[in-house]
Structure 1
């Protein structure tokens, strides 16, 4: 609906082409101001300086005035490309309000206007100073006198009244607009003020740079939300921890003490150490929401693996509803598409809905978002749009689940981000794990300050004595072990078999198949399935292995590390390759999850004791895999015992007290921590960093390929521009594996894919084993 008054005298001026809705300039501006008002209500106390919202309102009102240029209007109606920047031309109208702004406010208004699309360097390159003929002259000539009069009348008759209608009068002051003329000299003056401020920020600290980050972050967020036709920014979750318990079907006597204690610490950051399966998720949500009276602007729930993120997204949707929870990771669109297809939506409709959900997450519109910490780290590396990301993280509550899962280098990045957000954006953090060795806890204290450690009570640790540790000689693949697993399945058990590598997991599946298990009783899950098959496998595992599943039929679930984190599955017995203690504990936690089956055995094999090169890689053979060997030495002290999870931290502290291992861990952490300090010192508004974008991409080891058997289907979908469905045929492999396959001549570019450069893997693939590289050897002589 149009507000009154409305500038109907300029409804002929457009802000968007017909392809993007054909919105008028006034209509789009009103939508931007509405979203800015939503952001104001979401974080009214974002800063103590109320000038921020005052400057933002007037910036947003003027930000697109330059779109009234004749060349821009022709372009929107199908004319030739326009060579100028409309946001620079918008500066011509700052003089209409500048008399009521002090110098700092003028600087903020100008910066918000001119930066809402392009970085400062791009603007400087387009409109350099010192030329014989200033390019701003041609730009200003794009506005005729009648159009200028229309725009000035719009400010005079609508700006203050719209401020009132939007409920912004408390922090946005009225301005009595003055007549002004459009000229290159005045635009150059404002442009120079902007660039001078950007240059000055190079020598300032983080606190001085924060206003610029907020200015650009908020105006771009409001603009993008309006352009995407988001009609309302969802409010924060206004529930108490008691409401959460009720939604999770927990009666008052079922709420654990650590869950109540977490709710009581909601005003600050905290650490939680409790057994796997003892309600960590409910404790985290209780912490985030507290008594419900001061809800966080946003809640971010981070997990390390896509499978665990997808599972948590499903779980939180059931608790809070589809419109509240978002999902953001590298393959979130695929996961969302799979879920919408399950709801009997047509393929095209499901694809559109999945894309819309992805856009909502990019627009920072969901009150609760499940994501990986690497999505958060984009802001630290100053990727394009980082100011909007940091603004969204302001006054937010962050839940970090399974913090143990990160290597020391990644942990240093994460803790550096935590410290930066806590110190400069009033963020708070809830970090939880079944284990908190002092080595990790000390770095978390440095990042988060003096944070309380919430522990499960002794009676809960006693209640969760559920596993008997059994060390086994030999390997997981030994004939006697394979026979034992088959017999357990035939006796009605659900067996979890964890291997450290994909090739080894594939080998175990082959052995179990040849030993007599059928597809009905055997599932393999790892990272080398297509995204479509991976999603189907995750759903099938959840349906059969969840704690409350009604279809708990006998099964051997063979898996790699993808099952270690936050999957609500509950099997009866574990057979595992040797691994670091933190990883083993997570594997244990997928067995007898609720401690309702008495004591269940967890078998860990002594060989191979190097962890197959997966853990602690190093050129020095003594260092490589040492974490696994030291873990096995500690486990020998507890072989045959029932595991008391209250003592696990003592085990870990002894493991990391190993001098060589301790130094190896600290060296890796400190190297990255030093780099993080330099990165944080370099964060400045109005400038994304392409070089750091390359650094960020190097953090990720995955390269997408399409198996040869799916090439025709994949290309067909690309030609039809059904990109989401096409991605279901992709498989992620490591960069090292990619290089090996390329050297072997087993990779070639896909045919007829002008839209994308994708490589075809000329290696076997099937829906039961995934992509194979011929690196598993199965000796069947004993069968």
Structure 2
């Protein structure tokens, strides 16, 4: 057991007692690591991270808080990394491995046996380290107590949860856990010796006097904590930093070898583009031939360039105006000016995240190469099924080594992670980096597309929250479809925006249908207290459309009002009786000469009911079904087929728009509302909130089809939207039950009220809604405070409003339970920062429920059982994946297991809304688990619930009959 440290300045000249203190130990071997060595490793890693990986924006934020600027910031980050584990130099920690503890006793550091320390849980080594650092600063450097916590909290929180006031008080009364009473002086001497060595080697001894008067902002404390966590995780990996007795190489060789093996990509470091807007867009995006930059896009770039300090930009513009391209162009400018090292594109669903990911990759491929040989960009798709996405799986890591995680810290939960066994083509430009692909670390990649949940998690009191803040603090954040979130989610979003504003993170918010009050809330949340109330009334009062709103730190908001692009559609809006025969009659008439119609229903049950009736009337091959309850690969193929058949001119040949016996009909749920560039001749939609109804109208005559739409059938050359899903004979109209369950009566009745002048019109001229001009007026009226609709509707609307307000209040209160505190005053330590939190937060079913008020959901993997009893993959999958036999006595081969994992299906609301039904369903699925698939090495299948269908695609679950077909997806009926 040698650890003389003669080859390292961290160990050279230390006393035998200080050299004997251990930090790491492998359970299955004699390998161990002395604390002085881990301190040196952690400091060296922190230096490399700071110099080569941390974005400039993060470094500057820390530097601004310290008297010595950039030099102080680097020294502080390295010192905190070096000293984060000083709490392991205590009896409470050291007693855990008896052989190593006995070695310490032999060198004068006495301690009881582990079984004799019943109260050692009061001194987890992070909290113990915080206490030791505080005493060292006060007793050896004269710091006042009040100045210490903002620095020492980093050690206290480096395992993901900063201590609470109660934790700190409890340890104060158990001093023997820090130093054995009989040898307290020896313990203190060893602790101080290690801390003195760190102060000298990190170059902070002469800086300590100046730091006493610093007021570290809470965002800086968070970022330093996160950096220490990352440095600790890397330095704790025995593959990178071998343990004794083998890991005896000198410091430079040891660190160089580890850093080379880790091979972390550098952050993005763009130069601000200098070309004009037209040239910029031509270089970055695949624009159609002859396409011009639209006014909204040009105005967004001009506004970004005119902002002295990057901040928040809200882009409100119609569907199809190129908001995504505008956001990416603004992100490039903001990143260059702010020092951001990447970009996170947050979207409402996994489907929209998947749709955005290849667009993000295409944009990255067109960026100027600013890396100068520094390596590839790191890219991540942030949702629970990212490993099944072909575009993401194709970004194979350059370094396929599987670095082990250590048995890091016995007094804390296991911090290990598992890597997905993705396969695909190697890329020299874009890398889903192997170290960054972990559950908590993936968001640290430079470029990320993912669900909004990943951003909302930054407002949720949860373990390792500091890492989530580091992940966004060094990026430009783009929030798409900002109107799509309810009161519960907006509580988290507003809180997160306030932290982003405190970090100085540039944010771009996109929406086609944003209520004015919500625009003001977003701007005020980002601005925080720094901007006061100045100018925010004007933000809410602005009625122009398109509209750009900009907020920079310490400045009044600015508004830009670009001209519309001139693209527009006049849509005739008609009420349609909610009767399937009436619908079929109308479609038969309007599609007699061909064309295509989109029928949007608010529930999957209505989709199935409508499709079955229309097939009986129009023919099986004329009706296509689209909704969310398809297997994931089926839904992806459905989206691709929809784009091929009904996409924009040039991307579809239009042949599928007609049919020998009449036109085509797509019956769909809300999945067609966003992120699908599809174009239909006729729209039928259930009554929905006005912003969503307008989104659906955006799928109607979306692209020109000949001069004056001459390529469309003659009777369909006028864009027409038929609104069903309500009893239009009632006053006010009564929405169907399913729609009211999904959206609430208030938003549906407000939509009916603002559309009432059009719906009650006597002819096409009076029923015409001009888009995009009418979008903002309709949205503001529907979501504004003023009464709408005929006077006789007043009482019903007021009652619906009362119920709506009550539900919103419940949502706000519910969100508060685990909502992070607002940014605290400078110098206030992060004590109790995530106290009473949720533990870990991730993409699991339970994790998402923490930031979405959607109740429980349940996802299963689907296979089939043949008549001979064998389990097989569903037969219609492409290639040799379909109908492949699955072993039940062993773990399936990786590719076969991955095929099963890809066949995920979220069970419908009917099976999850009642907790008793949900519990029954889970119990039945667990009873049918294939035990061999639960093995530790079964990464894709272990822990998953599998729904087994018979050869006809049927199953019974929790008292319901389930039937799955490739054409219609999942249908659920009560078993009678």
Establish whether TM, by shorter chain, passes 0.5.
yes
Aligned with 2:699: secondary structure? coil
Q: Deviations over 1:109-142 (max 9, x none)?
A: 432123201534489399734349536539999x
Q: Which runs of 5+ in 1 are unaligned?
A: 161-172, 178-205, 778-783
Alignment equivalent of 1:279, drawn from 319, 322, 341: 322
1:317 equivalent in alignment to 2:361: yes
Alpha-carbon deviation of 1:308? 1.4
CA distance in 2, matches of 1:643, 1:234: 45
In structure 1, the residue matched to 2:370 is none
**TM-fit CA distance, 1:403:** 2.2
Matched, 1:720 2:919: no
1:84-123, aligned counterparts within 5 Å?
85-87=124-126, 102-103=143-144, 106-121=148-163
Alignment map for 1:630-669 (pairs within 5 Å): 630-636=753-759, 640-641=767-768, 643-656=770-783, 657=786, 658=788, 660=798, 669=808
Contact residue 395 and residue 428 of structure 1 kept, 8 A? no
Cα 1:613/1:39, change in 2 over 3 Å: farther
Q: Deviations over 1:417-473 (max 9, x none)?
A: 324532x33234333322233343343454356476784499964732235324252
Q: CA deviation at 1:500?
A: 0.9
Secondary structure of the residue that 1:349 maps to in structure 2? coil
Instruction: After superposition, give the CA deviation of every residue in 1:530-563 in whole Å (9 maximum; x if it has no partner).
Output: 3343344344444554435256551644321122
Moved more, 35-44 or 257-266: 35-44
Query: How far is the alpha carbon of 1:280 from its aligned partner?
Result: 0.7
Structure 1 residues 408-557: aligned runs within 5 Å? 408-422=487-501, 424-448=502-526, 450=535, 455-456=545-546, 461=564, 463-475=566-578, 477-478=580-581, 481=584, 484=587, 488=591, 493-515=595-617, 523-547=624-648, 548-550=650-652, 553-554=655-656, 556-557=665-666
Matches within 5 A, 1:72-91: 85-87=124-126
Give the TM-score, by structure 2 length: 0.62
- Per the alignment, residue 49 of structure 1 pairs with 65
Aligned to 1:58: 79
* 1:394 correspondence with 2:432: no
1:232 aligns with 2:265: yes
- 1:606 aligned onto 2:620: no
Alpha-carbon offset, residue 273 of structure 1: 2.2
- Summarize deviations over 1:28-55 as a string: whole Å, max 9, x none: 5422432234326342321421265543
Q: Which has the higher helix share?
A: 1
Name the CA distance, whole Å, in 1 between partners of 2:466 and 2:355. Answer: 30
C-alpha contact 1:503 1:776 (8 A) present in aligned 2: no
- CA offset at residue 649 of structure 1? 1.9
**Higher mean C-alpha deviation, range 302-311 or range 628-637:** 628-637
CA contact (8 A) 2:478 2:507 kept: yes
What are the superposed Cα offsets for residues 172-210 of structure 1, whole Å, 9 maximum, x if unpaired?
Answer: x56599xxxxxxxxxxxxxxxxxxxxxxxxxxxx99644
Rate the CA distance shift 1:633–1:135 in 2: closer, same or farther, 3 A.
same
The CA distance in 2 between the partners of 1:696 and 1:441, in whole Å, is: 24
State the partner residue of 2:389.
335
Taking structure 1 as reference, are residues 148 and 339 closer, same or farther at Cα in structure 2, changes over 3 Å only? closer
* Counterparts of 1:583 and 1:49, CA distance in 2: 45
Structure 2 residue 422 is matched with structure 1 residue 349 = yes
Alignment partners' CA distance in 1, 2:455 and 2:700: 32
Question: How big is each residue's C-alpha offset from its partner over 1:734-772, in whole Å with a ceiling of 9 and x where there is no partner?
Answer: 565325595496661323456537475632223332222
Task: Tell me which moved more, 55-64 or 479-488.
Answer: 479-488
Aligned to 1:200: none
Do the aligned partners of residues 577 and 107 (structure 1) sit closer, same or farther apart at CA in structure 2, a change above 3 Å counting? closer
Comparing 309-318 with 601-610, which one deviates more in the overlay? 601-610
Among 45, 51, 70, the residue aligned to 1:31:
45
Residue 59 of structure 2 aligns to a residue whose secondary structure is coil
Q: In the alignment, does 2:462 pair up with 1:377?
A: no
Q: Identify which range, 574-583 or 334-343, moves more after superposition.
A: 334-343
CA displacement at 1:81 relative to structure 2: 11
Per-residue deviation, 1:219: 2.2
2:431 counterpart of 1:359? no
Matches within 5 A, 1:257-276: 257-266=295-304, 267-276=310-319
Correspondence 1:706 to 2:860: yes
Say if 1:385 and 1:688, in contact at 8 Å, map to a contact too.
no
The 5-angstrom pairing of residues 12-23 of structure 1 reads: 17=26
Q: Distance in 1 between matches of 2:602 and 2:218?
A: 45
SS in 1 for 2:572: strand
Distance in 2 (CA, whole Å) between partners of 1:96 and 1:33 is: 23
Q: Secondary structure at the match of 2:606?
A: helix
Q: CA RMSD in A?
A: 5.2
2:65 and 2:216 in contact (8 A); partners too: no
Name the counterpart of 2:749: 626
Question: Aligned equivalents of 1:134 and 1:396: distance in 2?
Answer: 42
Structure 1 window deviating more from structure 2 (28-37 vs 472-481): it is: 472-481
Q: What is the rounded CA distance, in whole Å, between the counterparts of 1:400 and 1:432 in structure 2?
A: 6
Partner of 1:247: 284
1:769 and 2:968 are equivalent in the alignment? yes
After superposition, the Cα gap between the structure-2 partners of 1:736 and 1:105, relative to the gap in structure 1 and judged at 3 Å, is: farther
- Matched-pair contact (CA < 8 Å) for 1:273–1:433: yes
Give the deviation of 1:320 after TM superposition: 0.9
Q: How far apart, in 2, do the equivalents of 1:30 and 1:110 lie?
A: 20
Return the offset for 1:151. 5.9
Match of residue 164 from structure 1: none
Q: Is the 8 A contact 2:740 2:748 kept in 1?
A: yes
Distance 2:470 2:562 in 1: 42
Change (3 A) 1:446 1:156: closer
- The change in CA–CA distance for 1:367 and 1:689 in structure 2 (over 3 A counts) is same
Structure 2 CA distance for aligned equivalents of residues 81 and 767 of structure 1: 60
Distance in 1 (alpha carbons) for counterparts of 2:503 and 2:638: 40
Looking at structure 1, the residues matched to 576 and 129 of structure 2 have their Cα atoms a distance apart, in angstroms, of 75
Q: CA deviation at 1:255?
A: 1.2
Paired residues of 2:43 and 2:79 also in contact (CA < 8 A): no
Counterpart Cα distance in 1 of 2:221 and 2:682: 55
Structure 2 gaps of 5+ residues are 1-6, 13-18, 67-71, 101-112, 209-214, 238-261, 305-309, 366-375, 401-419, 426-431, 528-534, 548-560, 657-663, 710-716, 728-733, 789-796, 824-829, 840-845, 866-870, 874-885, 935-941, 948-955
Note if contact 1:58-1:109 (Cα within 8 Å) is conserved in structure 2: no
Distance 1:287 1:776 in 2: 55
Structure 1 residues 18 and 152 mapped into 2: Cα distance closer, same or farther (>3 Å)? same
* Residues 1:130 and 1:274: Cα distance change in structure 2 (over 3 Å): closer
Alpha-carbon distance between aligned partners in 2 of 1:176 and 1:587, rounded to the nearest angstrom? 61
Count of aligned pairs between the two proteins: 728
Shift in CA distance, 591/119, structure 1 to aligned 2, threshold 3 Å: same
Structure 1 equivalent of residue 688 of structure 2: 579
User: Could you tell me how far apart the structure 1 residues matched to 2:491 and 2:42 are?
Assistant: 43
Pair 1:58–1:207, CA change in 2 (3 A): closer
CA distance in structure 1 between the aligned counterparts of 2:678 and 2:65, rounded to whole angstroms: 49
Offset at 1:511? Answer: 3.8
TM-fit CA distance, 1:361: 6.9
Between the aligned partners of 2:433 and 2:586, the Cα distance in structure 1 is: 44
